[in-house]
Amino acid sequence: MMMENLLETIKSQVSKLKLTKKKKKKPYIKIDKSASVKVEIRSRKARNLIDKTLKAADRPGKTTPIS
């Protein structure tokens, strides 16, 4: 009898924990990029494009697609 009560108590506590975990989830709020971050991303892309162009220019005899 005592084991059954203990088992029921543990089961109820575990189920309560599962319910509280589900309730605590907050929705994710997406933050827009600031202007400085956008400029940084743009400059990185431009730098990569310049690097690829220079690599292709170093080998004028070879035709490789720039991607």
Strands (DSSP E) contained in 1-67 are none
Structure confidence at residue 5 (pLDDT): 87
One-letter amino acid at 66 equals I
Structure confidence at residue 64 (pLDDT): 60
Mean pLDDT of 5-21: 81
Q: Convert the pLDDT of each residue in 14-54 to its tens digit.
A: 888 776 666 566 777 888 889 999 999 999 999 999 999 99
Angstrom CA distances, 52 to 15, 43, 60, 65, 67, stand at 58, 14, 13, 10, 8
Distance CA 66, CA 60 (A): 13
Between 1 and 38, where is the model more confident? 38
> In sequence order, which residues have a C-beta less than 8 Å from that of residue 66 and are 6 or more positions away?
52, 53, 56
